[in-house]
Structure 1
Amino acid sequence: MTKLTEFTHELPQTDDFRRIVFEQTPLIDVRAPIEFKQGAFPSAINLPLMTDDERQKIGLCYKQQGNAAAVKLGHQLVNEATRAPRVQSWLDFKQHHPDALLYCFRGGMRSKISQQWMADAGQDIIRLKGGYKAFRRFLIDFLDQAPELLSQQNIQPWVLAGRTGSGKTLVIQKLHNALDLEGLANHRGSAFGRHASPQPTQINFENQLSMALMRLIDNPEKPIQNIVVEDEGRNIGSVDIPKPLFEKLKSHARVILDTPLSERLAITFDEYVIQAQQEYPTLTRWENFMRDALLRIQKRLGGERYHRVLHQFNEAQYLQHQTGNIEFHQKWIKILLVEYYDPMYDYQLQKNQLPIAFKGNAEEVLAFFASQAE
């Protein structure tokens, strides 16, 4: 006879989601792997109570025979022998992260059973009240409220603009009051901006965006007067910024980062060649990615320019293979910067109606932002 879990006492819960955000509390996600892949939280680790296959079988049983039969089947599938290594993984994580919390989808049976099994093994843990769904709702509500919060707190958005390769991200990373949208999206924001590692899902991007924004604008211990974002479109690779928030962040004057072409060439070369090649497991993988990226912008480049850039790229790759020298890549990068990205930037700048509040090099722009925070 299958022995069901006995709940010995009222197990502790918390819905202090704001504290979890600010303290970046470690979380144990006991949902099935397929659920975790669809959406999770940055500080969470997936240590599932059930495999995807077990979850599917139990879900089918629930639909056909009801809750009691599903619970019984769950205990049969995750029996004492099966559960032992799973419980041990939770115990090990809790030992290394004493403040860890636990959750399932709705904070119901799965997390409660996991919590009880840990208690039976001598380790108490608190579960999230309402589970993943409640925490996710908390984060989405904050994203919805963020534009109004910025207005209420008189936090002024600044948009950092500049030509491709001007080093906007480098400036953003030096500011305590900046929201690094490209970093959150794991994408450099251009046709060549994809990293070797995948972008977050839209759900995960929204979760991370909400948390990062909350820590910036809703922290009474570190109030800010301005928030700086890089000049981006709503879409960054495969993810997008919620429209009301995007419009609020882009509603104020621009600050232009003015960088000489020689420096822009060096920055772009470092990001798109040196760093990018190191990300990929083989040079061939990087080559294929770059050729695909060039193909995606072929129409906008125009036939003649596309073939000229591709020829320079192929020649640079041949010479890199032959000599190990990567400097030849600067030729095709320069063509793209001067003949493709710069005219596109000039057009967008002329089209934009927002005023330009300041223009200068990196050092001058950082000094300007520092003066606005005083």
Structure 2
Amino acid sequence: MEEKMILVKYEDLLKEKNYTLIDVRTPKEFKEEPIPGAINIPLLLDEERVDVGTAYKQVSPEKAKELGVEAIAKRLPDIFREVQKHAKGRLAFYCARGGMRSGSMSALFEALGYTTWKLEGGYRAYRQYILENIKTYNKDVKYIILHGKTGIGKTKILQQLENKGYSVLDLEKMANHKGSFFGGVCEKEEQSQKKFDSLIFDYFYKNKPQYVIAESESKRIGNVYVPEDVFQSLGNGVHLSLETTIKNRVEVIREDYAGATVDELQKCLDKVGRYIGKEKYEEYSQMLKDNKIDELSEVLMLDYYDPLYQKSIEKYIYDSEIFYETIDEGVEKVVRYLNEKGIFGKEVTE
């Protein structure tokens, strides 16, 4: 009797501990929309999948299958070695919709003596599950939101709070973007919406926080959007107003963009130029060419970003207003506020 392939739903997979999650889609698919914790061992490489798809449309399904089998056959020794290298416990395979790619891999390695699962519905079912459950995990979480102008050092404060064991939801880190026209500079790559959502779900699932500390965000961060329930929680949380000296703000900006090239900064300045008029744009561009980065940072903050964000800052009632001259002092004062509210961190050790 033919043995029926064992399917597993993602919510059931979460309850397991001893397994290896293997994504058999192309490297491109995996990069844009991975499941956190999965490894990529593709059946077809990016170019091979394009060739198969072209054959399917322009020749016939049979020709596409022939090309696919030929490409996979050449890769089987490499695939087997990769699985051997990473295999720990049961093997759980998935593809886009839980179809032929993950099914064939699951059947093959079952025949080779491994214990396998196929993720039911593949990545598509996984994504539906996490979008539904971001809402569930977020529902009763208390949000403490840090507000402040550009360069105030909110992200640096969040990082130190996280190191002290506080529950920090760093959306800009997840988005690979700092939230302004210059926000993508010095980041490794643009983030995809699907990967961003996955990171948020993964954070809530692993931490199951009763509270989170986050910074005030727009709905859009770079090219991704904050899930609606999380965005609403940002607005409905307890709000803290942070302020520091312009000198400290310039130092923060200098550190944040230390690795930026003049060309990268000019491209961002070009975007600002749409809103500031030709004269100021030319003035700011000349400052950049003259390497007057600190002066440019200060004038952009005072003349452009501060007025832009003032309306947003005025929307909220603040539970506390915190002034500091250094980031360490800012962290100390935020910690003091949290402790007074009965919220304590747990120092994280290496």
Fold in common (TM above 0.5): yes
Counterpart contact for 2:97–2:124, Cα < 8 Å: yes
Report matched runs for 1:233-272 at 5 Å: 233-272=218-257
Is 2:206 aligned against 1:215? Answer: yes
- Say what the alpha-carbon RMSD is for the aligned residues: 3.1
Q: Which residue of 2 aligns with 1:232?
A: 217
Report matched runs for 1:126-275 at 5 Å: 126-146=117-137, 149-150=139-140, 155-173=141-159, 174-175=161-162, 176-194=166-184, 195-216=186-207, 219=208, 223-224=209-210, 226-272=211-257, 274=258
Amino acid at match of 2:239: R
Q: Which residue of 2 aligns with 1:301?
A: 276
SS of residue paired to 2:125: helix
SS of residue paired to 1:355: coil
**Deviation, structure 1 residue 62:** 9.9
TM-score (norm: length of structure 1): 0.77
SS of residue paired to 1:28: strand
Q: Which residue of 1 aligns with 2:266?
A: 291
Counterpart contact for 1:168–1:230, Cα < 8 Å: yes
CA distance in 2, matches of 1:250, 1:339: 26
Gaps of 5+ in 1: 1-6, 278-285, 317-327
CA distance in 2, matches of 1:193, 1:21: 37
Report matched runs for 1:1-374 at 5 Å: 9-17=3-11, 20=14, 27-52=21-46, 54-55=48-49, 61=56, 73=66, 76-78=69-71, 80-94=73-87, 97-98=88-89, 101-146=92-137, 149-150=139-140, 155-173=141-159, 174-175=161-162, 176-194=166-184, 195-216=186-207, 219=208, 223-224=209-210, 226-272=211-257, 274=258, 276-277=259-260, 286-316=261-291, 328-350=292-314, 352=315, 354-360=316-322, 361=324, 362=330, 363-374=332-343
CA distance in 1, matches of 2:16, 2:245: 39
Paired-residue identity, %: 25
**Deviation, structure 1 residue 135:** 1.3
Amino acid at match of 1:367: R
21-30 or 36-45, larger mean C-alpha shift: 21-30
Partner deviation per Cα, 1:153-203 (whole Å, 9 max, x = no partner): xx3222210111111011222232221000000001111110342222111
How many pairs are equivalent?
330
Counterpart contact for 2:90–2:115, Cα < 8 Å: no
CA distance in 2, matches of 1:300, 1:25: 53
**Deviation, structure 1 residue 314:** 0.7
CA distance in 2, matches of 1:77, 1:135: 30
Label 1:91 to 1:115 Cα distance change in 2 as closer, same or farther (>3 A): farther
Gaps of 5+ in 2: 325-329, 344-350
Counterpart contact for 1:27–1:101, Cα < 8 Å: yes
Counterpart contact for 2:18–2:89, Cα < 8 Å: no
Q: Which residue of 2 aligns with 1:283?
A: none
Label 1:371 to 1:48 Cα distance change in 2 as closer, same or farther (>3 A): same
SS of residue paired to 2:236: coil
Label 1:22 to 1:160 Cα distance change in 2 as closer, same or farther (>3 A): farther
Label 1:31 to 1:335 Cα distance change in 2 as closer, same or farther (>3 A): same
